[in-house]
Amino acid sequence: MDDIVFIGDWVKDRILGSGSFGIVVLWKHKHTEEKLAIKTCKWGPELTAKHKERWTKEVEMLQCCNNPNIVGTKNLPPEFLIGLERANPSKLPILCMEYCSGGDLRQVLNNPDACGGLKESQVRQILSDIRNAMQFLHTNKITHRDLKPENIVLHILDNSNNNNQMQKKVAYKLIDLGYAKEIDSNSVCASFVGTLQYLAPEIFYSKTYSNSVDFWSFGLLAFEIICGVRPFLPYLAPVQWMPHVKKKSHEHICVYETFHEDIEYSNEIFSENHISKPLKSLMEKWLQVALEWDPKLRGRDAPSKVTFNIPSEEKEAASKVVIFDLLEAILAKKIIHVFSVTTLTNLAYEINDSTTIETLKALISADTKIPDQELTIISTTTYIDLENNDQVSKYWNDSATPMLYAYGKKNIIDDNIEPIVPSTVRRCLEHPKALYNYKNSQNLYRNGLFFILSQMKIYDYLINGLFARAESLKHKSKQLLVKHNSVDKALGKLLAQKEMIIKMTEVGTKHVEHLKENSIGTNFLGGFEKIFKDVHDQSEKTDKLENAWAQISIRLQSAVRRSNEATSADLNNFVTKYNFTTIVTNAMRAYNAFKKSEFYNENRSKDNKSQYYNVSDIVRASYDCLKLRSKILIEMQNHAFILKMKDLSLELSKIDDVITNAADNTDKLATALTTLTDELTSCMWSTISLVIRDAGDISDLPYSVVSFQKRDFKIGAPVSSHYIPHREKDSQLKSLIQESLKIRKSHLSLCERINSQHTSLQKATFDFSFLKDDSV
């Protein structure tokens, strides 16, 4: 087939893969740029009937499996039937498949940066896609029987608007159903198939097995993509590690060999991984179900301990497969990722729609030992300080990178933060000249590179966190300006209110002093003096508030100016001076050199404990990493931009408190002055009421009570048309005024009647001599 390059308008691009008797070639159309992956059998008549059956079955199954996570088949262009006739001596069906350009999962796991497993977002996506594919197959009574990283390919989805290759959406798809077999969940198979390292133990120990063999392979795959290494003594052949794994209990999901060649059992995932603690805990429970030794219990909700069926009246409920639903529930959970800049720690917490920032602060406080009242939480997208009653779910996304940054108000970065160093790396630093056998050297290079990559990631999060803090201080200063302007308006109204009541008080004080000098109404003036004194006291408090406000305004302007100064330039200069690029490059070079060494290739297929390897290059890289980390933290503690952000953070916090107190005091003083104004008005009207009640003639009343012009007043005309009504809160005062006016009106009416009778009497002649009697 090597000599076949052109078939019609199709051009051979390259060979994608070659198996024991099949070969997959990529073909590209000259005009449409369409790509096809075409699989042909490279053997001829010498193929056994079993192999022919397997090939035909794969073609038929793939053509029937319509699932987004199983590689799809396409119609073979007619020209290939003739063009590939020489390359298909077996005359078996030619399989035409969609082309997945991302390679296979094994290639991803072989990358040096996957030495400690894949990123959490990748892990979640792979588990979700493979769960979907496997559940589809099992629902259709098909067992894959050869689930492994080599049989999972990456399909880069069309994302032309996104230029960032790292952010392109990827779909993971199953391929190679050559070993798949249609079996019922209760059926068994007896054929020995699949890759040995991923085969379930019953295939080795028993003549029969069911579709639960896929659960075991899925569990091994999940563990490997999380940690970068298989869970059960990965440096041994299956025949060597199976007896040890057989002894494990239900809770054990990992069996490994220590540095001193002891066999250890663990119910935890290796700590060298990139997933969050909540997901790690959930996956450990799931792996117990997937990696159950007993195939009858594996993947099911039944307990792991063997129980005896005791006859009873009630029928025992049969166990059911829960492995797929359980994984789906785990992947549906929301996990918020937080980076604590102050303590340089990655934190993560499971949340729901009701989780608040206040609750999150309590969780962070428990992990970082920073009091929750001293914590500041900032969103990585808005750079705004989050309020306690805010909902955390608003800031969640599925990127599995820091979604929030946490800071202590007292310190930007704590002093003497100890790094988390893997035990293998600590041992090599303590004994830098020691030689390592294959297994220990493999662990050292893997964990050493993981440690260095982790420190670089923490450094990147730290720089991004400092940048976010600088931006948040800008937002904080703008928010304080808005808050300041609002309080400033309220203070302006307070000062106007003060001026008004001060003017009233000054006029009232002069009148009271004049009345006292003339000894008029001194019995009624005591209430005014108290009010005048209270007004004076509140006026002094207002003046103090005004002076303090002027000072805080100056401080705020200075803080705003400092927050707008370019901090990003300082951070960029710091990163240019201090970065992990050289150290990571050296560590990658050492890791790749070890993988390509004769020592590695000679010992990878056998358990050789007599040969040793010099690991000085990875030891040097680990030492340089710790040295640079220490230098960076020392430099940062005294760097100008850190000190500026620390001072500015404290200054804005103090200004915020002062503005809040000023707003409270402004409201209190405004309320006090309003109360004094009401008291002064009430006292004035109460005094007027007394004057009205004691007045002997209407002419004695002040015009402020009864307003009229004497020349317009006519006897007999209603008084109500000449007085100005006053709206009073004091109902008693209003009643007194109305009663006084009624009495005055009655008095005028009575006077008019008396005058009329007096005139009538003057016209008549009467003898009043008897009134002159001396006895009267």
**What is the tens place of the pLDDT at every residue in 682-729?**
877 777 776 666 555 545 444 444 444 444 445 555 555 544 454 444
pLDDT tens digits for 463-499?
999 999 988 988 889 989 999 999 999 999 999 988 9
Q: What is the mean pLDDT of residues 360-372?
A: 94
Instruction: Tell me the percentage of the chain whose pLDDT exceeds 70.
Output: 81
Q: Which two tokens stand for residue 347?
A: 């934190």
1-99 sits in which CATH class? alpha beta
Residues in contact with 751: Cβ distance below 8 Å, sequence separation at least 6, in sequence order: 715
| pLDDT > 90: percent of the chain | 42
Handedness of CA 92, 93, 94, 95 (dihedral sign): negative
So what's the pLDDT on residue 405?
A: 96
Q: Which residues contact 286 (CB under 8 A, 6 or more apart)?
A: 222, 323, 326, 327, 330
Distance CA 71, CA 91 (A): 23
> Tell me, what's the pLDDT at 381?
87
Q: Is pLDDT at 105 greater than 90 in this prediction?
A: yes
Indicate if the pLDDT at residue 308 is higher than 50.
Answer: no
Residues contacting 337, CB < 8 A, separation 6+: 276, 346, 347, 348, 400, 401, 402, 403, 404
SS3 content of the chain, % helix, strand, coil (to 5): 55, 10, 35
DSSP class per residue in 242-291: HHHHHT--TT--EEEE-TTS-EEEESS--S--SS-HHHHHHHHHHHHHHT
Q: Report the alpha-carbon distance of residue 322 to residue 343 in Å, rounded.
A: 40
Report the alpha-carbon distance of residue 337 to residue 700 in Å, rounded: 83
- Give the residue-averaged pLDDT of 271-295: 95
Domain ranges of the chain: 1-99, 412-694, 707-763
Selection from 635, 602, 648, 639 nearest residue 476 by Cα: 648
Angle at which helices 640-694 and 526-563 cross, to 10°: 160
Q: How far apart are CA 226 and CA 281, in angstroms?
A: 12
pLDDT at 52: 82
pLDDT, tens digit, 9 for 90 and up, residues 581-623? 999 999 999 999 998 887 777 776 666 667 888 999 999 999 9
Q: What's the whole-number mean pLDDT along residues 296-323?
A: 65
pLDDT-based confidence at residue 2 (cuts at 50, 70, 90): low
Q: Name which residue leads in pLDDT, 773 or 434.
A: 434
What pTM does this model have?
0.79
The tokens of 194 are what?
């699949």
> Which of 20 and 173 is assigned the larger pLDDT?
173
Looking at residues 123-131, what average pLDDT do you find?
Answer: 96
Rounded mean pLDDT, 500-504: 87
- In angstroms, the CA 308 to CA 765 distance is 141
Q: What is the pLDDT of residue 132?
A: 96
Q: Give the C-alpha distances (Å, rounded to integers) separating 426 from 430, 516, 626, 736.
A: 6, 93, 11, 95
In the chain the first and final C-alpha atoms are separated, in Å, by 161
Whether the Cβ atoms of residue 96 and residue 40 lie closer than 8 Å to each other:
no
Check if the beta carbon of residue 37 is closer than 8 Å to that of residue 176. Answer: no
Q: Is the pLDDT of residue 681 over 70?
A: yes
CATH of 412-694, one of 1.10.3470, 1.10.10, 1.10.1760, 1.20.1270: 1.20.1270
Residues 336, 405 contacting (CB under 8 angstroms)? no
The whole-number average pLDDT for the span 633-650 is: 87
One-letter amino acid identity for 461? Answer: Y
